[in-house]
Amino acid sequence: MTDITKHDTKHDTKHDTKHDTSDSSTTDEFGLRTLDVEQLRAKRGAKWGAREARFSAWVADMDFPVAPAIVEALQAVLDGNEFGYPNWGGPFASSPAALLFCPRMSERFGWEPNPARVHDMIDVIQGMRSSVHHLSAPGDGVVLHMPSYHPFIDTIDEMERRLVAVVRDGDAFDYDDLERRLADEPATVWILCHPHNPLGHVFERAELERIAEIAERFDLTVISDEIHSDLVMPGHSHIPFESLGADVSARTVTVTSASKAFNLAGLRWAVLHAGSAPMQQALESLPGHYLGAPNVMAVTATVAAWTEGDAWLDAVLGVVDENRHALSELLDRHLPGVVYEPPSATYLAWLDCRALELGEDPAETFRERGVELSPGPQFGPQGRGHARINLATSPDVLAATVEAMAG
């Protein structure tokens, strides 16, 4: 791996080393506030290992160590040398993680999914793409809030669907405009990113009802990606789209995973709930084993996360909440002119850098300054002049990152 530290001498700051902030250390049970940036730089995964940056705040992985309960559960698999076929009741049986999905949704969000409609998946994008494949055809319109998480845009392009964009009018999405356009350019599916990446927007009940109403009027099936649903900030709550009612559920596919909230993206497990009967039929008609079976480690980690991980998750939400507010002050101090609204959900923050006049892709300038962010234009034309920063790190690393962004 490239030795990133050798580029650092000029930029080492007081934030650039391990800190033990005495105020928070007593409450830092999970080691979320005392990250050592050198240890982060030694990581081999995509976030820190794939880029020659001094600070990596791009892809949606956390810098935090995962919940101890997850490590213990995985360690038990290692200690037992248990890498054979799992004892889950046969090759086509639902995994223990899929069996936990309904109780987890009920307990956390008051939604009662149908256990017969729950399917193991390898990842969320697999569930989303297979839904687009089964529920629409090339040339069909796909509704998407813009800017958008780029794999959705890529899906529409690669699968030769037509983007029907929901755009913002000021701070709110313009559904009147969407309705006018849907009358002229029909669509078959709506990919709903709920909560929204990159805007960190939580769709509250009235907005979800509006979406459901439009979906019904224009006969759209909604593919609701709820991977960020456990990452909702204080003062907001997540309402699963399918929980709006039986009629809504019947035209919805929900895809989610513990991977974002519990930092398990490399383990590969997700779950799909086919409220939509055509999607359920499509999955049931696939040849047995067409989708494969999930990985023991991923399922073990998810079960630990969903049964024993919530104290850790609460601690993570506390740090991200603190960071999203701290970012306002850090930007005022180091990069005045950047327009930023703290996200209501996710650990991702959307920075409007247009006033800095750094061109279409400000992330290029930040990269030259040693900081890797996600380029705004990746999220569609609405992302020009913007960049996305990842807040799932310690307050000190975030402060050092923003300081470095200023050059």
Ligand X SMILES: Cc1ncc(COP(=O)(O)O)c(C=O)c1O
From 106-114, 131-139, 257-265, 359-367, span contacting ligand X (CB under 6 A):
257-265
The one among 4, 35, 100, 227 contacting ligand X by CB under 6 A: 227
Q: Does 274 bind ligand X (CB under 6 A)?
A: no
Q: How many CB atoms lie within 10 A of CB 133?
A: 13
Q: Is 189 helix (H, G, I), strand (E, B) or coil?
A: strand
The residues facing 348 across adjacent strands are 390
The residue written with tokens 């687009």 in the block is 132
The residue written with tokens 């084993």 in the block is 289
Q: How far is the CB of 225 from ligand X (least distance, A)?
A: 5
Q: Does 259 bind ligand X (CB under 6 A)?
A: yes
Q: How far is the CB of 82 from ligand X (least distance, A)?
A: 24
Q: Does 230 bind ligand X (CB under 6 A)?
A: no
Q: Does 299 bind ligand X (CB under 6 A)?
A: no
Q: Restricting to residues 51-70, which ones interact with ligand X according to CB under 6 A? A: 60
Pairwise CA distance, residues 230 & 236, whole Å: 11
From 84-92, 119-127, 285-293, 300-308, span contacting ligand X (CB under 6 A):
119-127
Q: How far is the CB of 165 from ligand X (least distance, A)?
A: 17
The residues facing 340 across adjacent strands are 351
How many residues lie near ligand X (CB under 6 A)?
13
The residue written with tokens 């002119």 in the block is 337
Per-residue binder mask for ligand X (CB under 6 A), 142-181, x = binder: -------x--------------------------------
Backbone phi, psi, residue 144, to 5°: -150, 130
Pairwise CA distance, residues 190 & 213, whole Å: 12
Q: How far is the CB of 154 from ligand X (least distance, A)?
A: 12
Q: How far is the CB of 253 from ligand X (least distance, A)?
A: 13
Q: Does 124 bind ligand X (CB under 6 A)?
A: yes
Long-range (24+ apart) CB contacts under 8 A made by 312-318 are 312/30, 312/66, 312/67, 312/68, 312/69, 312/262, 313/67, 313/230, 313/261, 313/262, 315/29, 315/30, 315/32, 316/30, 316/32, 316/62, 316/64, 316/261, 316/392, 317/231, 317/233, 317/234
Q: Does 131 bind ligand X (CB under 6 A)?
A: no
- Residues near ligand X (CB under 6 A) are 60, 123-125, 149, 193, 197, 225, 227, 257, 259, 265, 270
